[in-house]
A and B are shown apart, each in its own frame.
Chain A
Amino acid sequence: MEHPILFLVKLFEAIGFGDFAHHYPHVIYTWLIMLILIVLGIIATKGISIIPTKGQNVFELVLGGIEEFTVDVAGEEVRRFFPVLATVFIYIFVCNLSGLIPGFFPPTAAVNTTLSCALVVVPLTHIIGVMFHGAKYYKHFMGPIWWMSPIILPIELIGHAARILSLSIRLFGNMAGHELVLAILFLLAGAFFAPLPIMALGIFVSLVQAFVFFLLSTMYFSGAMEHAH
């Protein structure tokens, strides 16, 4: 399967960093998404006022909605971690969507990007657990009955390690599989606009996968914050 034509990679080739661009397209497109999101953030907070104007209204709607949903799911204490969760959600959603534009490679279709997102969220749950419970956080891994702890402790530890794997591979598999299907359909029947229904499905899948990552992170946070059994 030949490599797809990616605009930013071509741009970097023209500058002279072709080798780097070919091996790490996900890094380059991550920079692009970062630039877009930072510019959006600056635009959103430029003329911030108590009575919101039109542009500010849109961003308040989006972020307010996410915050209300997060507090609904995980309780009041999650409000201080809402920035991390909302950033993860918006970043992954925009990354996923950018893959639908022809000539763009979604950074989340590389396992490095998704693994990095998971590696931020899962250690943060342990940090939150230690913050909220101190040394007694170990009771979360002991299970409900004390004499079953020797069996339950390895299972809990493996389960926590599996969270990193499952978060990263779920997102990576969805995005990389989608890219693969698009490439194959384009190869087979591109002249008949065959990839179009898959791209319509891709908008839905992008939103759902970003939302699932965000929701799972929220539930892991709330699980670390609540009292043990």
Chain B
Amino acid sequence: MFKKLSCSTLGSAFLLFAMSTVAFAAGGETAIAGLKYFTVSVFAAGFGIAVAAFGGALGQGMGLKSAVEGIARNPESSGKVTVTMLIGLAMIESLVIYALVISLILIYAHPQSAGIAALFGAGH
């Protein structure tokens, strides 16, 4: 089995991290809580696009495999098969692009960007 221990420690560390933000009361500690919220967002953005790239690559690989097999079996159909394969690859890629857009929103156009900018100004 692959390393389930590291997966669970990572998951529990992440949960502890996220839940510790709730424990903070108002005051100077909201700055730390707010920055942790942003840190968690960036963490999610990085993992989101990584998982999306993994799934997208698998899907495109399977499509490509079938297209190449089709051309090998029937070289005369290579034009149609290539066009169909490219269209299919673009469709699969668009799902990865949706995940990329969400990651970009989380990092660059975060819904709480005003609050986070204030925190960066106050904290550092």
Contacts and interface: CB of A to CB of B under 8 A. Distances in A.
A binds B: yes
A169 interface: yes
B91 interface: yes
B97 interface: yes
A215 B101 contact: no
A209 to B, nearest CB: 7
A174 B89 CA distance: 13
B87 A177 contact: no
A180 B90 contact: no
Nearest to A204: B86
A173 interface: yes
A172 interface: yes
A177 B91 contact: no
A211 B87 CA distance: 8
Contacts, number: 34
B91 A212 contact: yes
A10 interface: no
A173 B100 contact: yes
Contact of B87 (A166, A170, A174, A215): A215
Nearest to B94: A170
Contact of B101 (A173, A209, A212): A173
Contacts of A173: 94, 97-98, 100-101
Given A169-B97, A176-B101, A215-B87, 14 more contacts: A166-B94, A166-B98, A169-B94, A170-B94, A170-B97, A170-B98, A172-B101, A173-B97, A173-B101, A177-B97, A177-B100, A180-B104, A209-B90, A212-B91
A180 B87 CA distance: 24
Interface in B67-99: 86-87, 90-91, 93-94, 97-98
Interface in A189-229: 208-209, 211-212, 215
A208 B91 CA distance: 10
Nearest to A212: B90
B63 to A, nearest CB: 14
A172 B93 CA distance: 13
A212 B89 CA distance: 10
Contacts of A172: 101
Contacts of B93: 174
A173 B90 CA distance: 12
11 contacts: A166-B94, A169-B98, A170-B97, A173-B98, A173-B100, A177-B97, A177-B100, A208-B86, A211-B87, A211-B90, A212-B94
Nearest to A166: B94
A173 B86 CA distance: 18
A208 B24 CA distance: 50
Contacts of A215: 87
B90 A208 contact: yes
A215 B84 CA distance: 11
Contacts of A208: 86, 90
Nearest to A172: B101
A172 B104 CA distance: 12
A115 to B, nearest CB: 13
